[in-house]
Chains A and B, each alone.
Chain A
Amino acid sequence: MSSALAGELRSILGDDGVLDRQLELHVYGKDSGITRGEPSVVAFPESTEDVVAVVKAAKRHGVSVVARGSGTGLAGGAVPLEPSLILALTRMNEIEVVDVENRSAWVGPGVINLDLSNHTYSDGLHFAPDPSSQSVCTIGGNIANNAGGLHCLSEGNTVNHVLALEVVTADGDVIELGGPAPDPIGLDLRAVMVGSEGTLGIVTRALIKLTPNPTAARTLLMSFRSVEDAAKTVSDVIAAGVIPAALEMMDRLMTVAVERFIDAGFPTDAEAVLLAEVSGHEAAVEAEAEIIRAIADDNNAIEARVASDAKERQRMWLGRKSAFGAIAQMNPDYYLHDTVVPRTKLVEMMRNIYEIAERHQITMLNVFHAGDGNLHPLMSFDASEEGVIERVKAAADELLAICVALGGSLSGEHGIGLEKRDSMGLVFNEYDLDAQARISEAFDPDGSMNPNKVLPSGSRCFDFGRPIPEGTWV
């Protein structure tokens, strides 16, 4: 079946636009998460027309379509669960037009996040969402996962930076959602598409909102004897009306790991370290940095200092951005959580995290976007050790449950994909899920776009009565 499809795809995309040898398929079976699948063919479109043709061909052959950017997703979103076609969008990486005056740009979905910011830097603009994977991940993947980053505290997630989308639907129609105006007329389907993880359609072009580069910035490093003091500082800063561009917390295990990896200048004896950045106009950042420092002092900070120059500032942020790498070296395996709790519940959540880690005997490190309560507890382990996987899984489930009990959510920015799909019931009741499933059905009645992701099966209240059209893939 799929070889006939591969042949058809070759006639559309040419020989070097299709991969279907076994080892090649194996390589495309995974993203940065922990689940593996096996696609039946991989296609590399170079234009919207290519995407339309490929989607239609897949439909004719009853094969589902899984979009893929750089494959850095952490929740298995780009993992093909069934015999599927992987639509690899890396070659649609054109930055078409940058409209400096209106601070926007039309880009292809395969443009790499950081490439766009570098491209527009000299025009004084950048793409604000800055996930730690920004040197690799694509704009399409950012849109599909509504990615966030260090600066989403002040700038918001990707959804706040997308003006319009060109989408190829499951039927192969090309539709445009949103428009250059910040508030589009009609239903705001653009916002529905952002975060839909490839289940509603394929983003083939995006009109991105660009953000002016800050003219001045200050970074503060603050260290504390307790996580409580650090968390209190976070709440007090926000309560004081200062919204830092970024506000990040690391616990001691984490700073020790980072310092072992690179010399970022983090104190390794403090229980918690906060990094804050304020940006904007010179006078404002000076004043805001002072306010933050005073609040830290009030909360018993061991040290609270402003980076003295650009070099030190870069070193601090490099330390933060290397957290992931530092963990990569501790053990061969890791499991990264991405949960959100209300800021006021941070301390309680942290206490629970430490308790769970101890009970399951798992090394758990914490580095997270403290400003918006987006936690990334990271379990570091060696999967070859007997019984460890079970302990990790048990700990992960407990973490999620507690987070939800504290009024939190399943995912701050990494998406639901496969790995958190079955926990959706923890936050949504059957009617909530049904509403989502109806939207999904409206876009993709056959369930052929990235099937079995995001929504657990049975989300549709009346799932049993659903007719399965002839000839479609089941």
Chain B
Amino acid sequence: MPFSTQFAPTSQEVGSCIECGLCLPACPTFRITGLETASPRGRLTAMSAVLAGQAIDETFTEMMDGCLQCMACETVCPAFVPFGRAMEGAKAEIAVARNSMSIRIRRLILGRFLAWRAVVRLATAAAAVLQRTRMSVLIPKALRSGFRSLRPLPIWSSSRVGRTSKPLGEGRSRGTVGLMVGCVMDPWFGQVNDVATRLLNMAGYVVVTSAEQSCCGALAAHDGSAQDARRLAHRNASAFGAVDMVAVTSAGCGAHMKQYEHWTEGGDIFAAKVRDITELVADAIDKGWLPTVDRIAGPIAIQDPCHLRHAQRVVDEPRMILQAAGHEPIEIDSTGTCCGAAGVYSVLQPELSGRLGVQKAEQVRAAGPRIVASANPGCEMQLRQHLGEGYQIAHPIEFYADAIGIMERGHS
């Protein structure tokens, strides 16, 4: 079956590739395998073959499933091929054309369960109990290593949605920021959201965490559950209809929400309001709304999440935040290669994901510092898994909050 849905890669998207190959060295899967079939150019060639009438077969599915959707190819592409969009389209097509049981289960989890807070909290509570009892053997094997690299989970997490907090101290409000708390971010990385709220308040913003918000839909979109992704995008766009800006603490969610134009009507207007939290905090530091620390603290290795660096092109902000906290940011990788976490990729393609994780860990070790800043939960877990004991990993704004004395760094 050739492409059949409205989400399919278009001939315009695919045809904008001039086949120059400049994306090849940036692509982690090409780098590791040396296969044109595991490269952006090869994947686009395959899409155009299907556009020309070729069936969506097993080979096509494998080629697309191998993609990390890390967007490194978009960063270097001279023709600005919208690769990420085309790949989401290809995934949506695969989901329809190859409607296997495992795909259906995945769609149920990514498209539905993640959006149900009660389900996520229940799962979190269960995981928290297993963490405390060290019973990780009860976790399915594919998920076990991911489980072990979680931060300590709360057994009972009261969700942050539905709250409003006002600017701290004097001064008038600089506007209202809607905080996207995220589906798993909320219970698993709640501290990052708390710090974000504090910093935004300090900077003079009103922070609202609309009760209507839901999972951003990125994982659903990346996995081909296009209808679910649309539904979630629509819901979030209306939930945050009234705010001036939307702050996102997970780079993966932010990257997706900045692309809402593809997923919901009026999504472009919404997308223009979306900011990664590092953008807002760096801006506030720059404007003097948040303090800069004089004290010199130690160096911190900086890891760029693909969905921040490549998808959102946010590179300087996390570094600036660390500098404002008195830390010296240490580069680990000049091109920002994917760490292999890549959403559900680590579960679906454990082998390649693992190789990239090992590679990233080697880069961190070579850089020196045993403290790493990463602005994305998935990357944080991947780093923790591959770095092992003795490394401290947190979000850049957590290091900043620590330095200006508004929080304790309570985890490793």
Contact = CB atoms under 8 A, between A and B. Distances in A.
Interface of A: 19, 21-24, 26-28, 30-32, 44, 70-72, 88, 90-91, 93, 110, 112, 114, 133, 135-137, 261, 322, 324-326, 328-329, 332-334
11 contacts: A23-B54, A26-B54, A27-B45, A70-B21, A71-B36, A135-B22, A136-B24, A324-B20, A325-B79, A328-B20, A328-B79
Contacts of B20: 32, 72, 133, 324-325, 328
Contacts of B45: 26-27, 30
Contacts of B78: 261, 322, 324-326, 328-329
B60 interface: yes
Contacts of A333: 18
B63 A88 contact: no
B17 to A, nearest CB: 9
A135 B80 contact: no
Contacts of A324: 20, 78
B18 A23 contact: no
B241 interface: no
B297 interface: no
Nearest to B39: A27
A354 to B, nearest CB: 24
Contacts of B46: 23, 26-27
B316 interface: no
B49 interface: yes
Contacts of B24: 70, 136
B36 to A, nearest CB: 5
Interface string B21-60: 1101100000000111100001001100100001001011
Given A90-B35, A328-B18, 8 more contacts: A19-B37, A26-B45, A114-B25, A133-B21, A136-B22, A322-B78, A328-B20, A332-B16
B36 A329 contact: no
Given A19-B37, A136-B25, A325-B79, A30 B15 contact: no
Contacts of A328: 18, 20, 78-79
B19 interface: yes
A141 to B, nearest CB: 11
Contacts of B21: 31-32, 70-72, 133, 136-137
B25 A112 contact: yes
A32 B78 CA distance: 14
Nearest to B78: A325
A133 B22 contact: yes
A64 to B, nearest CB: 19
List 10 A-B pairs, minimum CB-CB distance, nearest first. Answer: A325-B78, A90-B34, A328-B79, A23-B59, A27-B42, A72-B21, A91-B34, A328-B78, A21-B59, A328-B18
A214 to B, nearest CB: 21
Nearest to A23: B59
A328 B49 CA distance: 21
A185 B371 CA distance: 57
A414 to B, nearest CB: 13
Contacts of B79: 325, 328-329
Interface string B3-25: 00000000000011011111011
Contacts of B63: 23
Contacts of B25: 112, 114, 135-136
Given A325-B79, A328-B78, A27 B37 contact: yes
A366 to B, nearest CB: 18
B187 to A, nearest CB: 40
A250 B258 CA distance: 37
A137 B24 CA distance: 9
A23 B49 contact: yes
A106 to B, nearest CB: 20
A136 to B, nearest CB: 5
A201 B297 CA distance: 59
Given A23-B54, A326-B78, A88 B49 contact: no
Contact of B19 (A30, A114, A133, A326): A30
B90 to A, nearest CB: 13
A75 B16 CA distance: 20
B22 A325 contact: yes
Contact of B57 (A23, A91, A133, A322): A23
A68 B21 CA distance: 13
B59 A22 contact: yes
B331 to A, nearest CB: 15
A333 B45 CA distance: 15
Nearest to B44: A27
Contacts of B77: 325
A43 to B, nearest CB: 12
Contacts of A30: 19, 45
Contacts of B36: 27-28, 71, 88
Contacts of A93: 34
A456 to B, nearest CB: 25
Contacts of B18: 32, 328, 332-334
Contacts of A90: 34-35
A328 B22 CA distance: 12
Contacts of A21: 59
Interface in B308-333: none
Interface in B45-100: 45-46, 49, 54, 57, 59-60, 63, 77-80
Nearest to A73: B21
A326 B22 CA distance: 13
Interface in B125-147: none
B285 to A, nearest CB: 24
A26 B42 CA distance: 9
A338 B19 CA distance: 18
Contacts of A133: 20-22
Contact of A88 (B34, B57, B59): B34
